C-alpha cells in the first residue's frame, strides 16, 4: 500500500529523458507535491527551502534544512541528500542549492517549476537566473496514474464510502453540521486505523484522516458551490451537498452526494433528476482518445436543451490524485487528449439560490475502452432522502 522505490526511479528517469529532449542539463523542483511525486519525501513547507534536483543523466538529489535531514534520509527514494544550517542563516540556502546542482553535474541549461523557492511564510530569496519552465512536463506525467496509484485512490474511495455512510446516518433535523461531520469523520478514521493502521500513511497536506462533511452546503446555502462551514443546524426540507475523502499514502478521491431531509418537493426532484442525467451523460462521454473539452461540450448541450443556464456555475470536473484538484480539466477550453490511466472527478451541478445546490461527484478511472467507477455510493434520490 505505497509507491515502490522502483516506481519512483521510473518517474525520475522519465522526467530526465523529457528534460534532455528539451536540451536541459537538469531540473530543480520546489513544489511540495512535485518533490513528493519523484522522491517519496512528504514534508510541511515553511520558510526553509526544500528542493529536488535531477540531472539529465537521471541522478537526483535533495536539499533540505538541517532539521529535516534525518527525516529526508529515512524517507526519500534518492540517494544524495544535502543540507544547510537554517534560514536565513549566515549563508543563504540558495548557495547550498548551487552546490547541489554542481555536485549533480547540472551546470548548463536549467529547467524549474518556479524562479527559485517561492516567497512563502516570510521567505525571501534570489531567483535562479536563466531557467526554462518544466511544470508542464511534471503535470503531464502526473496525469497518467500507474496501477499502483489507482489502487491507492481506490483504497481512498473505500474509506470515503464508510465516512459518507456515517454522515448520512447521523444527519437529522435539529443536529448541526459540525457535530455530525465530526462524529462521522472521527469514527471512519478510527475504523480505518483499526483495519490498516500498521501499513497506513496519510501524507496529505489537506486532510489528517478520513473526512466527510457539508462545508456549509446546507439549505439555500447549498447553492454556493464553494461555501464554508458555519455550524448550520439542519432543518426539514433542506437540500444537502456533501463531500467525503480519505488520504492514502498521499492520494485522494472525491465522493459527493446531494441529499434531502424529508420528502423532496416537486422542484427538488426535478433539479435532482436533471443533475443525475447530467452526470450520467458526462461519464458516458468520457472515452480515451477524445479531448477533455468534448465532455464539457456534450454536457453543455443538455443545458441548452433544458434551458438550465441560470443554474450553471462550473465545468464538468477535474483530474485528482496527489492533489484534490489536478489537471487536465473536463472543460471546453482544455483540449488535452483523454488517455487510459487518467483519473477524474465528474461533478456537473445545478444551483438555484432559493432552493439549494444539486451535485454528485464520483471518482472514475479511464481504461482502454471506457471508464471504471472507483466510488460506488448510492446515487438515486430515494436512497439519499433522509427521514424528517
Q: Are residues 264 and 352 in the same domain?
A: yes
When pLDDT is cut at 50, 70 and 90, the band that residue 388 belongs to is confident
When pLDDT is cut at 50, 70 and 90, the band that residue 43 belongs to is very high
Give tens-digit pLDDT for 143-163.
Answer: 999 999 999 999 999 999 999
- CATH code: domain of residue 356: 3.90.230.10
Q: Are residues 277 and 211 in the same domain?
A: yes
Q: Are residues 132 and 167 in the same domain?
A: no
Cis upstream peptide for 328 (omega within 30°): yes
Comparing 1 with 232, which gets the higher pLDDT?
232
- Would you state the pLDDT for residue 365? 98
Q: Are residues 195 and 110 in the same domain?
A: no
Q: Are 349 and 276 in contact (CB under 8 A)?
A: no
| Domain end (from 101, 128, 143) | 143
What b/e string do you get for 64-91 counting C-beta neighbours within 10 Å, with b at 16 or more? bbeebeeebeeebbbeebbbbeebeeee
Total residues belonging to the chain? 388
When pLDDT is cut at 50, 70 and 90, the band that residue 79 belongs to is confident
Task: Cell numbers for 325, please give them.
Answer: 484538484
Give tens-digit pLDDT for 236-284.
Answer: 999 999 999 999 999 999 999 999 999 999 999 999 999 999 999 999 9
Q: What crossing angle do the helices spanning 177-196 and 147-170 adopt, rounded to 10°?
A: 140
Q: Are residues 259 and 192 in the same domain?
A: yes
Give tens-digit pLDDT for 347-367.
Answer: 999 999 999 999 999 999 999
CB atoms within 10 A of CB 196: 14
Give tens-digit pLDDT for 199-242.
Answer: 999 999 999 999 999 999 999 999 999 999 999 999 999 999 99
Cis upstream peptide for 88 (omega within 30°): yes
Give tens-digit pLDDT for 81-140.
Answer: 999 999 999 999 999 999 999 999 998 899 999 999 999 999 999 999 999 999 999 999
Task: Cell numbers for 91, please give them.
Answer: 549563508
- Would you state the pLDDT for residue 262? 95
Q: Are residues 139 and 212 in the same domain?
A: no
Burial (0-12, 13-18, 19+ Cβ within 10 Å), 288: middle
Place of cell 535531477: 54
Q: For 251, which DSSP code?
A: B
- CATH code: domain of residue 58: 3.40.350.10
Domain count, the chain: 2
Is residue 58 pLDDT above 90, yes or no?
A: yes
Place of cell 470536473: 317
Q: Which residues make Cβ contacts (< 8 Å) with residue 139, sequence separation at least 6?
A: 326, 327
Q: Are residues 156 and 235 in the same domain?
A: yes
Q: Are residues 132 and 27 in the same domain?
A: yes
Q: How many angstroms separate the first and last alpha carbons of the chain?
A: 41
Q: Are residues 139 and 156 in the same domain?
A: no
Task: Report the distance separating Cα 133 and Cα 105, nearest Å.
Answer: 19
Q: Are residues 111 and 154 in the same domain?
A: no
Q: Are residues 97 and 239 in the same domain?
A: no
Query: Domain range spanning residue 340?
Result: 147-386
The whole-chain average pLDDT of the chain stands at: 97
- In percent, how much of the chain has pLDDT > 70? 100
Q: Are residues 182 and 195 in the same domain?
A: yes
Is residue 1 pLDDT above 90, yes or no?
A: no
| Domain end (from 143, 178, 212) | 143
User: How much is the CA Rg of the chain, to the nearest whole Å?
Assistant: 23
| Domain end (from 123, 143, 163) | 143
Amino acid at each position: 500500500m505505497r509507491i515502490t522505490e522502483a516506481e519512483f526511479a521510473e518517474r525520475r528517469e522519465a522526467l530526465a529523458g523529457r528534460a534532455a529532449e528539451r536540451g536541459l542539463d537538469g531540473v530543480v523542483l520546489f513544489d511540495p507535491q512535485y518533490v513528493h511525486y519523484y522522491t517519496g519525501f512528504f514534508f510541511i513547507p515553511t520558510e526553509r527551502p526544500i528542493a529536488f534536483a535531477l540531472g539529465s543523466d537521471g541522478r537526483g538529489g535533495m536539499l533540505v534544512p538541517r532539521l529535516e535531514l534525518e527525516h529526508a534520509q529515512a524517507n526519500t527514494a534518492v540517494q544524495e541528500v544535502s543540507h544547510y544550517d537554517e534560514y536565513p542563516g549566515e549563508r543563504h540556502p540558495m548557495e547550498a542549492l548551487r552546490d547541489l546542482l554542481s555536485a549533480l553535474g547540472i551546470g548548463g541549461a536549467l529547467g524549474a517549476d518556479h524562479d527559485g523557492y517561492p516567497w512563502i511564510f516570510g521567505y525571501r530569496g534570489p531567483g535562479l537566473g536563466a531557467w526554462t519552465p518544466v511544470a508542464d512536463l511534471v503535470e503531464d506525467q502526473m496525469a497518467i496514474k500507474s496501477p499502483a496509484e489507482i489502487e491507492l485512490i481506490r483504497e481512498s474511495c473505500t474509506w470515503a464510502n464508510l465516512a459518507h455512510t456515517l454522515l448520512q446516518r447521523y444527519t437529522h433535523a435539529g443536529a448541526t453540521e459540525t457535530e455530525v461531520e465530526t462524529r462521522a469523520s472521527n469514527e471512519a478514521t478510527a475504523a480505518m486505523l483499526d483495519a490498516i493502521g500498521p501499513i497506513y500513511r496519510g501524507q496529505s497536506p489537506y486532510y489528517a484522516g478520513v473526512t466527510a462533511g457539508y462545508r456549509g452546503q446546507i439549505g439555500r446555502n447549498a447553492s454556493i458551490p464553494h461555501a464554508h462551514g458555519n455550524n448550520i443546524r439542519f432543518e426539514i426540507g433542506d437540500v444537502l451537498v456533501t463531500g467525503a475523502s480519505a488520504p492514502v499514502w498521499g492520494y485522494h478521491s472525491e465522493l459527493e452526494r446531494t441529499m434531502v431531509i424529508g420528502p423532496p418537493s416537486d422542484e427538488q426532484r426535478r433539479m435532482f433528476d436533471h443533475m443525475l442525467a447530467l452526470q450520467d451523460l458526462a461519464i458516458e462521454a468520457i472515452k480515451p482518445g477524445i479531448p477533455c473539452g468534448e465532455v464539457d461540450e456534450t454536457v453543455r448541450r443538455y443545458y441548452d436543451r433544458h434551458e438550465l443556464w441560470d443554474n450553471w456555475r462550473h465545468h464538468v470536473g477535474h483530474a485528482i490524485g496527489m492533489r484534490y484538484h489536478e489537471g487536465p480539466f473536463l472543460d471546453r477550453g482544455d483540449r488535452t487528449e483523454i488517455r487510459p490511466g487518467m483519473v477524474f472527478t465528474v461533478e456537473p451541478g445545478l444551483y438555484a439560490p432559493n432552493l439549494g445546490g444539486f451535485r454528485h461527484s464520483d471518482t472514475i478511472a479511464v481504461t482502454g475502452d471506457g471508464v471504471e467507477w472507483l466510488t460506488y455510493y448510492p446515487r438515486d434520490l430515494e436512497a439519499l432522502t433522509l427521514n424528517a
